[in-house]
């Protein structure tokens, strides 16, 4: 599932499946931590949301118009 980190992959159309698996694993891990310890899980959720906003901003600034 590391094919979506490299531009030269075997199947260029299969990036969605790989990204979906990674998002699912990240979500399951985050919720497992959240149910075990609510304060640590909340901090991790806030960090993930902040990181997604920063990544969205950086990528939108670098894309050509």
The reported pTM is 0.65
Listed in sequence order, the residues at least 6 apart from 10 whose beta carbon sits closer than 8 Å to its beta carbon are 3
Q: Count of CB atoms within 10 A of residue 47's CB?
A: 11
Q: Domain spans of the chain?
A: 36-65
**CB-CB contact of 48 with 31 (8 Å):** no
Q: Note the pLDDT of residue 19.
A: 78
pLDDT digits (tens, 9 = 90+) for 14-44: 777 877 888 899 999 999 999 999 999 999 9
Across 56-63, average pLDDT: 84
Across the chain, mean pLDDT equals: 83
Which tokens sit at 50? 């902040």
């Amino acid at each position: 599932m590391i094919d979506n980190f490299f531009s030269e992959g075997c199947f260029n159309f299969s990036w969605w499946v790989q990204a979906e698996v990674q998002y699912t694993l990240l979500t399951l891990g985050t919720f497992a931590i959240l149910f075990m310890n609510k304060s640590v899980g909340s901090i991790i959720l806030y960090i993930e949301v902040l990181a997604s906003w920063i990544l969205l901003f950086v990528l939108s600034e670098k894309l050509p118009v």
